[in-house]
Amino acid sequence: MANPITCKDTTWLVSESRERALSKEELEDLERHIAECSFCKGASTQFAVLFKQLDNYLGNSKAEKDNSG
């Protein structure tokens, strides 16, 4: 078992997962920490909602730009 990761590490990994695929070890560490830390579990849920809204906004903005030109 790898060393436990911190809340700061968890935040960084959640952010990194938007940019690249996490390694198996990183993903396992992230999932383990979120399962054990109620603060990070809540933050992870909030990040998921925020990222979905951001994706929807950016997708809609791109479609609007494509249609206006």
Q: How far apart are the C-alpha atoms of 24 and 63, rounded to whole Å?
A: 35
Q: Can you list the positions of beta strands (E) in the chain?
A: none
Residue 55 within any structural domain of the chain: yes
Collapsing DSSP to helix, strand or coil, 32 comes out as helix
Start-to-end CA distance of the chain, whole Å, equals 54
Q: By residue range, what is the domain housing residue 57?
A: 7-68
Quote the pLDDT of residue 60. 72
| pLDDT tens per residue, range 21-35 | 999 999 999 999 999
Angle at 63 between CA 13 and CA 46, to 5 degrees: 30
Quote the pLDDT of residue 9. 97
Chain centroid to CA 11: 8
Residue 45 within any structural domain of the chain: yes
How many domains, in total, are found in the chain?
1
Residue 1 within any structural domain of the chain: no
